[in-house]
Amino acid sequence: MIYQQLNSLIEKAIQTGLIEKQDHIYVRNQIMQLLKLDGDRGTDSTSHFDAPIPDLLEELVDYAVGHHVIDDVLDDKEILKASIMNCFVARPSVINDMFQEKYSISPVEATDFFYQLSQNSNYIQTKRIEKNIHFTTETEYGELDITINLSKPEKDPEQIKRERGNKKNIDYPKCVLCVENEGYAGRTGYPARANHRVIKVPLLGESWYLQYSPYVYYNEHCILLAEEHRNMKIDKQTFKRLLAFIDQLPHYFIGSNADLPIVGGSILTHDHYQGGRYKFAITDAKKAFSFKLENDDNVSAHVLHWPLSVIRLKSTDQEQLINAANQILQTWKNYTDDAADIQAFSGDKPHNTITPIARLRDGVYELDLVLRNNRTSDEHPLGIFHPHADVHHIKKENIGLIEVMGLAVLPARLKDELAEITNCLLDQPSSVADYHNEWAQSIKQKHGTISNPDDADHILQQELGLKFQKVLEDAGVFKEKPAFDRFISTLKSR
């Protein structure tokens, strides 16, 4: 049966265009070596497993575990999966040539090709991503996206034991974003990347690389990473790079996490951006009010009606747009407003930075500048402009670029915890976590008796979305328009 499963995988790879039919003997021999097969039971067994590539991979890995080719440990299984799929994926130079050939036809065709390849090669974990719970919630700011992240596999006890016992200090690759991950086999405690490919993207004389996230949170969720392993930094050059990128791929948006702890993303040690082909709620956020920038006649500016504090700049003139964005950045980095609890520095430690987002819409460049501050206090030890204690039962992690744009990435624990709250709303036996009790009771008081399970689920989804709205409002630096007006006055006086 193992040969039937192997042949089924090869046939599926031919169907999806990973390899040509004439490659099948070479690929089969490569995978046989990985599985320690010698062909003694016949390699020409008829294939009859019409299953997706991830399912067929699981069958091969189960065989390898059952026949002691590898140990029944998460990392060993992940390394074998990636190594098997690497047999189907062309070398980086070939992939880049194919991308450029399709790019000469259209940027959309090029990214369609690379995104499909990244899925077919099992680099994008499509089967695991399907486990995620996703829905939208209507709020005064538009439809917010809610995702409960169930895609990343849990570590088994043996995996945890191995990681604890692994005392080697290996500095290669330096981080999971480095270009050196391309084709890297993986090791204990470090992800397998044998089937990983990146596309070289020149930006302002530097080498940058495009890849997709293995656990995409939205359509064509891509990462743009610097060749050099260096810290994140938001400056004028950032705005130039973002606009240079959308010149090359105008159907994508591109943005950056902030470059300071608390308000930044999970990886601040490697300069990178995130983009994709998806319309977030922030994209169509309404205009709160407009203002005029001095000496920038070709740049329009307005504040968005959004839970965080966002200035949107629009122009057909890249240079003026970049200069206007940099003026706002430099003013904000040095801005203090005691009445709004904003301090630019504690000694020489900076607190103010920006989360920028760029897009091209109807031939006009747009830059959204989200003002961020990472100062802490005794009342808010995790951050004054960070989710406050009353929402930590839902989310206490950093609010990065994805959340800023209106997509909540919530912890897996919520799946079971929300089921218990649903039971509570239906007056059924339930075990609601202590930290959810107050919230659950407030929902019951608000909505009264609920008898229909579908109604209970819908109400809970809406309430979860409103809780995420509060998470984002906590991260906004200007809670009232007068505070925003004071900053704009300072901006105009520079």
DSSP codes of every residue in 74-126: HHHHHHHHHHHHHTTSPPHHHHHHHHHHHHTT-HHHHHHHHHHHHHHTTSS-H
Helix (H) or strand (E) holding 312: strand 310-315
What tokens appear for 481 in the block?
């328009």
Delimit the domains of the chain by residue range.
Answer: 2-69
Q: 236 to each of 14, 245, 321, 325, how far by Cα in Å?
A: 46, 15, 11, 8
Give pLDDT tens digits along the chain (494 positions): 899 999 999 999 999 999 999 999 999 999 999 999 988 666 665 666 689 999 999 999 999 999 999 999 999 999 999 999 999 999 999 999 999 999 999 999 999 999 999 999 999 999 999 999 999 999 999 999 999 999 988 888 888 888 888 877 899 999 999 999 999 999 999 999 999 999 999 999 999 999 999 999 999 999 999 999 999 999 999 999 999 999 999 999 999 999 999 998 889 999 999 999 999 999 999 999 999 998 778 999 999 999 999 999 999 999 999 999 999 999 999 999 999 999 999 999 999 999 999 999 999 999 999 999 999 999 999 999 999 999 999 999 999 999 999 999 999 999 999 999 999 999 999 999 999 999 999 999 999 989 999 999 999 999 999 999 999 999 999 999 999 999 999 998 87
- Smallest CA-to-CA distance from 31 within 111, 102, 113, 86 is with 86
DSSP per-residue codes, 209-243: EEEE-TT-SSTT-EEEEESS------SHHHHHHHH
Whole-angstrom Cα distance, residue 95 to residue 119? 14
Model-level pTM greater than 0.75?
A: yes
Whole-angstrom Cα distance, residue 313 to residue 320? 10
Residue 230: exposed, middle, or buried by beta-carbon count in 10 A (0-12, 13-18, 19+)? exposed
Q: 397 to each of 144, 161, 383, how far by Cα in Å?
A: 18, 26, 11
